[in-house]
Structure 1
């Protein structure tokens, strides 16, 4: 897939995957849905849903490592700062041949462009949080989150 086709796909996901509302109950149900899929597929991942600094859901499955905590913190910080998925941010900065974590703009200890974090966007309110998976490849982390949101929105009729 070309860079522009990939970017168009990622932008489409962000336009499509918007919640009518989102509260702690939604976080629990969505996080559990993603966790159950990860368990059934044998993925050793950590899953985090947060509203800025408030963790609404956290699950660490067997096989996940302590490193996942740092990846989740850095991925979600990137989503909350730029209000786009880390996969889309990766494409956007690659198109400009730039890395915001180099050259003094954003510290690499606090931010990353690794895929796997996606904005919780609520219709009429904007981005209110981030959903993050860590433990697989960037693309697979991203896909697990996107598929989880898509399936959840189908079940709640959003």
Structure 2
């Protein structure tokens, strides 16, 4: 466990991702919003030639899915596992994993969840609507977990800024 100052890397990550979730709150989330956010993610991934799959859900309904060249069915399985973590905990899959590690625990060993169904790896982020709470998730799979997370946050940040105007 690496320490910088008084915080471990995971403690800093918990603080950072918690702040992202507090900032990235939407006024609403419709089918059209899912299409716009998903299209933005696909556009970013295509520009960078990223081999990712993208999934957006509101509740149990899949509103958007795309698989770019280089992605595979394995990415869809990772999407499902990361998304289930968001559904269960109401927080980013990266945040959940970091919280376990910051407490000196391991999600895989200590969550008591079926690891074939749950993965606390970065890439799935809760869709939070103001005055409502978590209504769904946006998930990317195909890159290292922090890169999956960063791509989602980048797109969601641009989307949230656009939806406030």
Q: TM-score, normalised by structure 2?
A: 0.91
Query: Alpha-carbon deviation of 1:45?
Result: 0.3
| Aligned mates of 2:163, 2:17 — CA distance in 1 | 23
Q: Which of 77, 90, 93 is the matching residue for 2:100?
A: 93
| Corresponding residue number in structure 2 for 1:16 | 23
1:115 and 1:155, CA in 2 relative to 1: closer, same or farther beyond 3 A?
same
Specify every segment of 5 or more residues in structure 1 that has no aligned partner in the other structure, as ranges.
Answer: none
Over the aligned positions, Cα root-mean-square deviation in angstroms equals 1.4
Query: Alpha-carbon deviation of 1:103?
Result: 5.7
Whether the aligned pair in 1 keeps the contact of 2:52 and 2:140 (CA below 8 Å) is yes
1:103 and 1:9, CA in 2 relative to 1: closer, same or farther beyond 3 A?
closer
Query: Alpha-carbon deviation of 1:52?
Result: 2.9
| Corresponding residue number in structure 2 for 1:140 | 147
* Count of paired positions: 158
Q: TM-score, normalised by structure 1?
A: 0.95
Q: Which of 20, 36, 41 is the matching residue for 2:43?
A: 36
Query: Alpha-carbon deviation of 1:4?
Result: 2.2
Deviations 1:34-69 (A, max 9, x none): 110000000010000012321010010000011011
Query: Alpha-carbon deviation of 1:3?
Result: 2.6
| Corresponding residue number in structure 2 for 1:68 | 75
Secondary structure of residue in 1 paired with 2:25: coil
Query: Alpha-carbon deviation of 1:153?
Result: 1.2
Q: Which segments of structure 1 move beyond 6 Å, counting only runs of 4 or more?
A: none
| Corresponding residue number in structure 2 for 1:156 | 163
| Corresponding residue number in structure 2 for 1:50 | 57
Whether the aligned pair in 2 keeps the contact of 1:102 and 1:108 (CA below 8 Å) is no
Specify every segment of 5 or more residues in structure 2 that has no aligned partner in the other structure, as ranges.
Answer: none
Deviations 1:79-127 (A, max 9, x none): 0100010111111000122234436710001100110000001011110
Secondary structure of residue in 2 paired with 1:102: helix
| Corresponding residue number in structure 2 for 1:108 | 115
Matched, 1:128 2:135: yes
